[in-house]
Each structure stands twice: as structure tokens, then as C-alpha cells.
Amino acid sequence: MPAYPGLDNAPIVKFWSESDFGRNWRPPACTGWDGVGFSTLVTTVARFRNTSGAEGLLRHIGAISELAGTRYWSTTHQQWQTLIVEAKASTGLSSTRHREDFTPDEMKEGNELYFEQTDNLSGNGIYRMHITKVSADRLVFDVENVSTMRYFLVTLFHPGEVQSIYFLDRESENVWRYYSMARTGRNASRLTAGHESSSINRAIAFYRSLAGIPTDQEPPAAR
């Protein structure tokens, strides 16, 4: 949920509240997520054209450095702003040593890859990307923070409290289906809870980045 939109229609984003599921909501088994509940939960569905096939999509997903400069519509400031300030692939879980972007050959099923990212709201963090499925017709990968994330001196998220998972399924030769789910943990800082319009616009920014659409293309999903 929700259902996939038409190919030339805008993505559909659903912001879920705790009242929709209850405080002890358990994530679907396909996510691999532990823990119950959430402070923020967003699902995004879309169809998009892509002629580079699964390997081209893998190359794009692994190009961590290209996330830098991703923009989104800030409902607070009513203007386009840079969401991801900096992004670099890392050599390991606890390492801040940077490296070149990941290649498709490195993105095999079961592999875990690490990167460092700084965004304009939750600051700097180290993330793990887990490759769940790789085939010519299906790609599945999930991302979660492995470091504590702070805004100045305030802890926003403990490790594992920022999670997202992406399902890409080939519909036809040059058309793919996109489904993503993003969650922040139930124990995340209250400063990060709610903010429906902002959460929707951030989800759209990540979709556009993956689908090769300018992230600041008008109109924004939510004003």
C-alpha cells in the first residue's frame, strides 16, 4: 500500500501515523527490521523508465558520492534546499576512511557496504547498505544508520533507528516498479517525530535521485 500509480503519474507517498497500526506495530518480515513501532513511517510507490537494466541501476545505487547535492522542498522555509550536503563511500563499519564509489561487482547478494553521509537535518552519520536481492528483474537493498546521529549536542537517533528498504522490480523491458519504506524508531528524539510534509518531500527526493529525475523538479510533493 498504496497501489502503484500510472507510469507518467507522480509517485504516491503515504505517511502513516501510530493510530493506523498501533504502538506495537511489527514490520513485515520482508524488511528484516527488528523492533516494534515507529516514530515516523513513510511508503513511496512509483513507476519509472530506465534503459540501463539492473546493472545500470546497481551502478547508480552504488554511486554514493552522487547523492551529495540532493535537494528537497523545505516546507519550513518554502524553498528548495540541499538535503544531502556530503556523501562518500567508506571502507568499513567503524571507519571514516573514504574510498571510490561502489561498483556493481561489489553489490552482490548478502554484501554489506558502508558510507558516510551528512544531511541538513540529522547531521553526519555512518550507514550500512545491505544488498538483499540482485537479479536481472529484481533489486532489493536496505539502509540503516550504524552511528549515533546528533543535532549539535542533542541525540536524534541511536544506531539502527533510521531505516529504509527499497524494492525495484522490472515490469517490462524499460519500465521498473519502485517501492520503498522508511522508518525512524519509536525511541527516536521527539524533535524528529511527525513533520508529515517534510517526510514526504524527503522520500520523494530519494526516489527522484534513484530514478534519475532532477530532485528539485517542480512541483514539490507537499508544500
pTM of this structure: 0.93
* Joined grid coordinates for residue 123: 547531521
| pLDDT for residue 196 | 86
Q: What is the pLDDT of residues 90-132, one digit of tens each?
A: 988 766 689 999 999 999 999 999 999 998 877 889 999 999 9
Find out whether 176 and 11 touch, Cβ atoms under 8 Å.
no
CATH number given to 12-211: 3.30.530.20
pLDDT band at 188 (very low <50, low <70, confident <90, very high): low
Mean pLDDT of the chain: 91
| pLDDT for residue 97 | 85
Q: Which residue has the higher pLDDT, 179 or 150?
A: 179
| pLDDT for residue 180 | 97
pLDDT band at 191 (very low <50, low <70, confident <90, very high): low
Is the pLDDT confidence value at 194 over 70?
Answer: no
CA distances from 164 to 32, 172, 183, 203, 213 (A): 11, 25, 6, 10, 20
| pLDDT for residue 113 | 96
Q: What is the pLDDT of residues 15-58, one digit of tens each?
A: 998 778 877 889 999 999 988 888 889 999 999 999 999 999 99
* Joined grid coordinates for residue 27: 514490520
Positive or negative, the Cα torsion across 95, 99, 101, 106? negative
* Joined grid coordinates for residue 203: 522520500
Rounded to whole angstroms, the Cα distance separating 171 from 167 reads 12
User: In a 10 Å sphere around its CB, with 0-12 CB exposed, 13-18 middle and 19+ buried, how is residue 46 labelled?
Assistant: buried
Rounded to whole angstroms, the Cα distance separating 100 from 184 reads 29
| pLDDT for residue 156 | 84
Per-residue pLDDT, averaged over 152-179, amounts to 92
Is the pLDDT confidence value at 88 over 80?
Answer: yes
| pLDDT for residue 193 | 66
Whole-angstrom Cα Rg for the chain: 17
Q: Which residue has the higher pLDDT, 172 or 17?
A: 172
Nearest Cα neighbor of 116 from 133, 99, 134 is 99
DSSP per residue over 41-56, as a string? EEEEEEEEE-SSHHHH
